[in-house]
Amino acid sequence: MKTRSVNRLDIITIFPGMFEGPLTQSLLGKARQRGLIDLRLHNLRDFSADAKHRAVDDRPFGGGAGMVIQPEPVYRALKHIRGSRVAGATRQVGDKPYVVHLSPQGRALTQADAQTLSERPWLVFICGHYEGMDERVMKWVDAEVSIGDYVLTGGELPAMVLADVVLRLVPGVVKDVESIRNDSFQTNRLDHPHYTRPALWRGKRVPAVLLSGDHERVRAWRSQQAECVTLKKRPDLVI
């Protein structure tokens, strides 16, 4: 595990309230309380050029269904974020964050991508909406990421997924580093089966090797089982 990692994440969205539950609970909520992560939400409507209605979208040139996010609010939001460089009381980040646009047109997210992103000290996620953003905004975007070949109502849910995948890799968020190393997709195979108490449940026993106390045999069994699980469930991962 590398020591350099994300310590600040800014999210640009028109629905900041959607993030209050997922990003304030469980491991991420605890990590924020401990100061491991500086996570900031920005309402795109706060940067609208329309002071009265706070509109951030308009009809597409050339006609067609739907609306398009205007470039000016996004530009203003990014400019505001870049002007705020202090990540915390004792930490500082670089002058320029790495900007990610959550979009169905983006590269399909993998664990390897998450690991790469987790090694950047400052990230900005832009949640797409409607028919998308004005293409001229893409000049300030470093990467587009998709969480699957399907379309959601907006980029908020993908941003939550990406935030969870990336931030759990920050040192200290998950206490047991070994559990991350053994996660599915950390290598080209899935995780091995897991068992807990009771050792006998409804006529089904835990594999005897796991009760043997022989750590080398347990390690070998888990490695072999991981290969079997991968071949059965995700043979495409085996090269």
Q: Annotated catalytic sites, by residue?
A: 104, 131, 168, 183
* CA angle (30 as vertex; 24, 35 as ends), nearest 5: 105
Q: Are residues 21 and 120 in the same domain?
A: yes
Domain membership of residue 233 as a residue range: 185-237
Other C-beta atoms within 10 Å of 209: how many?
14
Query: pLDDT by residue for the chain (239 residues), tens digit each?
Result: 444 567 899 999 999 999 988 888 999 999 999 999 999 999 999 999 998 999 999 999 999 999 999 999 999 999 999 998 654 433 455 568 999 999 999 999 999 999 999 999 999 999 998 889 999 999 999 999 999 999 999 999 999 999 999 999 998 899 777 777 667 777 788 989 999 999 999 999 999 999 999 999 999 999 999 999 999 999 998 86
Task: Say what the pTM is.
Answer: 0.86
Q: What is the CATH number of the domain that holds 212?
A: 1.10.1270.20
3-state secondary structure of 112: helix
Q: Are residues 190 and 147 in the same domain?
A: no
Q: Are residues 23 and 73 in the same domain?
A: yes
**Quick one: CA dihedral 63, 65, 67, 71, positive or negative?**
negative
Q: Are residues 58 and 158 in the same domain?
A: yes
Q: What is the pLDDT of residue 94?
A: 56
Q: Are residues 198 and 113 in the same domain?
A: no
Q: Token pair of 124, please?
A: 């900005």
Q: Are residues 147 and 68 in the same domain?
A: yes
Q: Token pair of 17, please?
A: 């309230």
Q: What is the CATH number of the domain that holds 18?
A: 3.40.1280.10
Long-range contacts made by residues 55-59, C-beta under 8 angstroms, separation at least 24?
56/14, 57/129, 57/130
Domain for residue 148, yes or no?
yes
Q: Are residues 190 and 159 in the same domain?
A: no
Distance of alpha carbon 117 from its chain centroid, rounded? Answer: 9
